[in-house]
Structure 1
Amino acid sequence: MRKTFLTAALLSGLLISCSNDDNDSNRQLKLFTTSNTSGKVSVTDLSMASPMTYSFTVASADADGAYYFSDSDEFILASRSNNKIELYDGVTTAIMNNATSLPLTFASTSDFNNAREIAVYGDKVVVTQDQNAANSNTNKLLVYQKTDSGFMLLNTYTVDFKVWGIHLDGNTMYAVADLTSDVVVFNNFFANANGAIMPTKRVSIEGLVRTHGITYAKKTDTMVLTDVGSATSDTDGGVIVIKNFTTVLANTSNMGTIATANQLRIYGSATMLGNPLDVAYDSAAKKIYVAERLFGGGKVLTFDLPTANVNAAPIASRDEAGVSSVFLLRE
């Protein structure tokens, strides 16, 4: 249920930000989520002692992928129902005014079908298109430039693997190959010309059944992945953490395997992980946030960064119907 009150602490958190991740005061720490089923997005203010979640109706009934531009207070998502990137302005104002919806400011042209994720670097927005009958079974990565008035399509790339999660670390693109246990890497991603492109490197993750969510924290060189296991099971999912990732990746040959010895794993009956579609990681607080799509109809789960392989219950759990993606803002 949408919260309908504000506190002085919340207003302070909304109006003041800090660039020091280690300073727990005067900062923005917010979690944004989308849904495949509800036609809503949510914003949770994590800077409060008791985090509060605000829910807003949007123009997209089915959305995947989320990103928030804090300098302009704009939220974007990849709409699977409208096949567009949609931008919503005035998130902070909507919270302060107890609004129930976010205004759609503008959207991209309809250049994709069956979107799965968004990644952003500067003014570049990348969207994944997963193959289906409506798009002639074509897997794509589309690059847009965000302007003050819209999104301009810059490049369209086709790839020879099913796409889902992506993450941009500057000009390096990390992506998962759906239906496999593989992670792919594109160096100098934005230098590619239109058309078919091949990854610089592809590796398998030992013990992982089916990759979906991916995020990377450069500050601590930590990669976090999710495993949905079987799409029909709500108990076989997991989260995998790989520390010193760039070193581990460099020491793994192309088409090689990253062994379980290089992983920290969260799996088991206590975790509530069945189909974890997306993941965000707070390297300062050492917390992992997961969009769990299947267990209980959809939950946003929070885990402490593990120090060993664990079958651990989440430290926090919140119901969110059809939750499909998660994005963390810390500044």
Structure 2
Amino acid sequence: MKKLFFPLAIIAISFASCSDDDSMPTPVDPTPGNPTPTPAVELKLFTSSNTSGAISYTDLLAASPVPKTFSVSSVDSDGIFYDPFKDQVILASRTNNRVDAYTGFRNSIITSSTALSLGFSSASDFTNAREIAVSGDKVVVAQDQSAANGNTSMFYVYQRNTSGFTLLNTYTVDIKLWGIHLEGETMYAIADNTSDLVVYNNFFSNATGTISASKRVTIEGLIRTHGITYSNQDNVMVLSDVGLASSATDGGLIIINNFSSVLSSTANMGTIAMSNQVRIYGPNSLLGNPVDVAYDHVTNDIYVAERLNGGGQVLKFAFPTTNGDFAPQTARTEAGVTAVYLLRR
């Protein structure tokens, strides 16, 4: 899905990660006064899986982009991020209930390795992780409530250094968590099993304990949210709708243009109307359970981790200007795909 954050990726078909997302300096979008964007140094799509014990990576600048897979020490992962400066792939391991940092990623490509090298991990602090978001040296894990954690949804905030993760804070919340996206000090989160978007302002200023949302809004016509990503360059919010978890054909994407204005003009506990949305739904879209999304602010492409249809697929959509049942531009099978991260810089 996929960016103060690195807009990372989805596959050759980035997705802020699940995603979504984090931020770092990226090329500027073309504008009437500046029609030529800075050429990308790197444009890479990463995905994780909850069944394969592997991640995928695609160099989207290659003459013929071909996904590569690398085994990792977690069969079930949900949430992925790549730091090009530290050359680390960061995963939330649901198998081991920890954050893992895999180092020397570029060397793994050069040497044609089939496995990534685990550099360091956090303690096993959480269970049922659903997404990660990164801002600078902070990594946030969304823990969804389950019987294993006493039905408690929490954010775990880690400090990342050269050799480990230090748990800084934990925040208990009153919603079921899934997709999250950090934009500086603002945390956007979806309330799973609802059609609601939740905002936490000044997120890192909170002390450990229970925190309350700064704002919560309902997205009209959305059944069940999962994936989320936001582009501050384009002021675009992208959300995914998984519909019924058992259905492989009822999912969709919702795009909200001029998002900051739409959100500010919507009252707390109010509704963002369908008139403020652009929607992709229907059988041609191949969307059943789109669990994560990523967005490229230069090409405006949307990448999706579709978990159910076909056993897992990575889809790429052109940016829609009207509602419709649009087929993806590209689709490829990836078993159990759970998260997508797109890096553009």
If the TM-score is normalised by the length of the shorter chain, which range does it land in?
over 0.9
Secondary structure, aligned partner of 2:284? coil
Deviation at 1:21, TM superposition (A): 5.6
Residue 279 of structure 1 corresponds to: 293
Unpaired segments ≥5 residues, structure 1: 1-16
Residue 15 of structure 2 corresponds to: none
Take 1:52 and 1:163, find their aligned partners in 2: how far apart are those partners? 33
Q: 1:242 to 1:18 in 2, by over 3 A?
A: closer
Residue 113 of structure 1 corresponds to: 127
Judge conservation of contact 1:266–1:309 (CA < 8 Å) in 2. yes
Deviation at 1:48, TM superposition (A): 2.3
Residue 149 of structure 1 corresponds to: 163
Deviation at 1:52, TM superposition (A): 1.5
Take 2:278 and 2:231, find their aligned partners in 1: how far apart are those partners? 15
Take 2:63 and 2:238, find their aligned partners in 1: how far apart are those partners? 26
Judge conservation of contact 1:21–1:330 (CA < 8 Å) in 2. no
Please give the residue correspondences for 1:1-331 in structure 2 after superposition, counting only pairs within 5 Å: 19=27, 23=37, 25=39, 27-331=41-345
Q: Which amino acid aligns with 2:131?
A: E
Judge conservation of contact 1:123–1:146 (CA < 8 Å) in 2. yes
- Please give the per-residue CA displacement for 1:167-210, whole angstroms capped at 9, x wherever unaligned: 00000000000000000000100011111110000000000000
Secondary structure, aligned partner of 1:270? helix
Take 2:240 and 2:210, find their aligned partners in 1: how far apart are those partners? 27
Residue 22 of structure 2 corresponds to: none
Q: 1:201 to 1:25 in 2, by over 3 A?
A: closer
Take 1:25 and 1:219, find their aligned partners in 2: how far apart are those partners? 16
Q: 1:209 to 1:18 in 2, by over 3 A?
A: closer
Q: Which amino acid aligns with 1:235?
A: T
Number of aligned residue pairs: give it. Answer: 315
So what's the TM-score if we normalise by structure 1?
0.93
Secondary structure, aligned partner of 1:248? helix
Q: 1:25 to 1:81 in 2, by over 3 A?
A: same
State the percentage of identical aligned residues. 59
So what's the TM-score if we normalise by structure 2?
0.89
Take 1:239 and 1:318, find their aligned partners in 2: how far apart are those partners? 18
Q: CA RMSD in A?
A: 1.3
Deviation at 1:19, TM superposition (A): 4.2
Q: Which amino acid aligns with 1:75?
A: V
Secondary structure, aligned partner of 2:47? strand
